[in-house]
Amino acid sequence: MKKKYTIADVADLAGVSKTTVSNVINNIENKFTEETKIKVLKAIEKLDFNINIGAKSLSEGKSYLIGVILPIYKDTDILQENFFLQEFLSGINRYLSTIKNKYDIIFTGVNENKFNIKNWIRKRAIDGVICFGLTSNYIYEYLEQLKIPTVIVDDLRDATNGFSRVYIADKKGGYLATKYLIENGHKDIAFINTGINLSKVEKNRFNGYIEALSEYNLNFYESNCFELKYLHYDSGVYIADKIKDLIGKQFTAAFVTSDIIAIGLINRLQELEIKIPNDFSVVGFDNISLSKYIYPKLTTIDQNIYKKGQSAAEELIKIIEYDDIKKNIEMDVSLVIRESVKNVKE
């Protein structure tokens, strides 16, 4: 097997010192002439030399690794049965590729035991971390204690006040969804959520719902609100059975604060011979990739998780490389009109 060359080999071949090779590789200003640069570059080319990040890392005290901490949902493994985490990772990866893949991503799940996550960050000497969704407070504490560059995504709870955060315009999303339903002639609109008092995200979506209602002088009825415990498909199935007899009587449409639940709802309702959107209209929230593959295709609020990943990564790199200050970044949302809403005006 071919020997793995080091900068010493390059230096020998080019007839310069290791220092100079290093300076050329890292493009340090005023440290070499054009002439030496060419010599070094030629030697690198000839030997097919590749820098060893491990060594660079040890000497610089930087790993060029960014850690992503992902939530693990009930009963599944990390990344499993999930329709958006991979989009998020993809976005991060995308941004990293725009800065020449200097950094690599490593990831872990949040339900690993406490010490694991802390140790993981330290032993890998991770340069920065991105936390997605509601992770536990003890993680935030560790992060603060470690003084490691961090970006929190989609968690606006007080415990995250000290960090840079990326989140979306949830209120606007709720507003857009509800308004669209109203403009399609719906006056009685159910609000299906996973707990407006537990999560600011949900709360904001609810506020958007309320705002649209009052803008059109529609009354808000507590009885039109349904709170679910878990954020997964089965909650949609569950709520479908619960509200099926109210459809057409108490309300003609629903704004559901997450796609996966909306999809469970739609599928179950159709099993019960309630046709979507003919008998009942629904607007979701998230625009997970799944939502355009179901029948009928789901009208929803797009939050572009992919782009969110990009922004989170960009912000993190700014903090790592330029000591950028804490920032709150709100991402815009938009309505994606597909087929799950019927116009009942005429």
Partner whose binding site includes residue 23, from a second copy, DNA, none (CB under 5 to 8 Å by kind) = DNA
Binding string, residues 124-163; x marks residues near a second copy by CB under 8 A: xx-------------------x-x----------------
Please select the residue that binds a second copy; options are 8, 45, 46, 81, rule is CB under 8 A.
Answer: 81
- Of the candidate spans 23-31, 117-125, 171-179, 186-194, the one that interacts with a second copy by CB under 8 A turns out to be 117-125
Residue 87 binding a second copy, by CB under 8 A = yes
What is the C-alpha to C-alpha distance for residues 127 and 319, in angstroms, rounded to an integer? 10
Cα 242 from Cα 245, distance rounded (Å): 8
Angle at 240 between CA 237 and CA 242, to 5 degrees: 115
Entry field: residues in the chain:
346
- The torsion angles phi and psi of 69, rounded to 5 degrees, stand at -105, 115
**What is the token pair recorded at 293?**
């593959």
Binding residues with DNA: total (CB under 7 A): 28
CB of 78 to DNA, least distance (A): 27
Q: Which does 306 bind (CB under 5 to 8 A by kind): a second copy, DNA, none?
A: a second copy
8 Å CB contact between 302 and 288: no
Kindly state whether residue 216 participates in binding a second copy, applying the rule CB under 8 A: no
3-state secondary structure of 226: strand
Told to check if 63 binds DNA by CB under 7 A, we report no
Q: Determine the interface stretch with DNA among 18-26, 113-121, 156-164, 286-294 (rule: CB under 7 A).
A: 18-26
CA distance 85 to 266: 23
> End-to-end CA distance of the chain, in Å?
77
Task: Compose the 223-262 pattern: x for residues touching a second copy by CB under 8 A, - for all others.
Answer: ----------x-----------------------------
Among the residue ranges 92-100, 157-165, 189-197, 220-228, the one whose residues contact a second copy (CB under 8 A): 92-100
Contact between 332 and 283 under an 8 Å Cβ cutoff? The reply is no
Could you say which residues in the range 26-45 bind DNA, by CB under 7 A? 26, 30-33, 35-36
- DSSP per-residue codes, 23-76: HHHTT-TTSS-HHHHHHHHHHHHHHT----HHHHHHHHT---EEEEEE---TTS
Please select the residue that binds DNA; options are 13, 23, 258, 341, rule is CB under 7 A: 23
Rounded CA-CA distance 279/100 in Å is: 52
Instruction: Give whichever of 210 and 320 is closer to a second copy, judged by the CB atom.
Output: 320
Pair of tokens at residue 44: 């690198």
What is the H or E stretch that residue 197 is in?
Answer: none
* Residue 166 makes contact with a second copy by CB under 8 A: no
Per CB under 8 A, the segment of 20-28, 51-59, 172-180, 324-332 that binds a second copy is 51-59
Question: What does 93-113 look like in DSSP terms, one character per residue?
Answer: HHHHHHTTT-SEEEEEETTS-
Judged by CB under 8 A, the stretch of 52-60, 182-190, 196-204, 223-231 that binds a second copy is: 52-60
Q: Which is nearer to a second copy, 54 or 248 (CB)?
A: 54
Of positions 1, 2, 48, 61, contacts DNA by CB under 7 A:
61
Q: Is 64 left (phi over 0), alpha (psi -120 to 50) or beta?
A: left
> 3-state DSSP call for residue 264?
helix
Residues near a second copy (CB under 8 A): 1-2, 4, 50-55, 57-58, 63, 77-83, 85-87, 89-91, 93-94, 97, 101, 104-109, 112, 116, 119-120, 122-125, 145, 147, 233, 263-264, 266-267, 270-271, 289-290, 293-295, 306
